């Protein structure tokens, strides 16, 4: 099934990237109020909205992110201490760096 759909999904993503936008039909999400915990009052649902995006939007986002990060890395534009959007970097590695700087007095 994947091999049947993949060319169409790829064509849609490539068209979005080429045009620099998503089709308007894919720019909308369905917002549903959900409780985060069963202990919460059901009347408070409106405070916890969940947005369900279209399939193609969910697939396009990582494709775009991958291309942008790749471009930044290939061209030396990613800050050396950037933690977000980098493989093997996380909030944990950022905290370790900050703590190391504090301990070393930098």
Distance separating alpha carbons of residues 80 and 33, to the nearest angstrom: 40
Q: Which residues form the domain of 85?
A: 79-106
Distance separating alpha carbons of residues 3 and 104, to the nearest angstrom: 54
Are residues 68 and 43 part of one domain?
Answer: yes
Are residues 24 and 60 part of one domain?
Answer: yes
Confidence of residue 101 (pLDDT cuts 50, 70, 90): very high
Are residues 56 and 9 part of one domain?
Answer: yes
Name the burial class of residue 20, with classes exposed (0-12), middle (13-18) and buried (19+) by CB atoms within 10 angstroms of its CB.
Answer: exposed
Are residues 57 and 42 part of one domain?
Answer: yes
Q: Tens of pLDDT along 47-98? A: 677 888 888 888 888 888 888 889 998 999 988 888 777 888 888 888 988 9
pTM for this entry: 0.60
Name the burial class of residue 44, with classes exposed (0-12), middle (13-18) and buried (19+) by CB atoms within 10 angstroms of its CB.
Answer: exposed
Q: Tens of pLDDT along 7-18? A: 999 998 899 889
Are residues 41 and 16 part of one domain?
Answer: yes
Are residues 62 and 35 part of one domain?
Answer: yes
**Sole residue written with tokens 């193609």:** 56
Name the burial class of residue 3, with classes exposed (0-12), middle (13-18) and buried (19+) by CB atoms within 10 angstroms of its CB.
Answer: exposed
Are residues 38 and 17 part of one domain?
Answer: yes
Domain count, the chain: 2
Are residues 41 and 23 part of one domain?
Answer: yes
């Amino acid at each position: 099934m994947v091999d049947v759909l993949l060319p169409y999904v790829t064509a849609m993503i490539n068209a979005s990237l080429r045009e620099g936008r998503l089709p308007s039909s894919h720019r909308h999400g369905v917002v549903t109020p959900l409780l985060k915990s069963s202990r919460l009052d059901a009347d408070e649902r409106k405070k916890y909205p969940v947005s369900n995006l279209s399939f193609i939007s969910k697939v396009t986002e990582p494709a775009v992110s991958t291309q942008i990060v790749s471009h930044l890395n290939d061209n030396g534009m990613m800050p050396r201490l950037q933690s977000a959007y980098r493989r093997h970097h996380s909030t944990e590695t950022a905290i370790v760096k900050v703590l190391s700087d504090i301990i070393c007095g930098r």
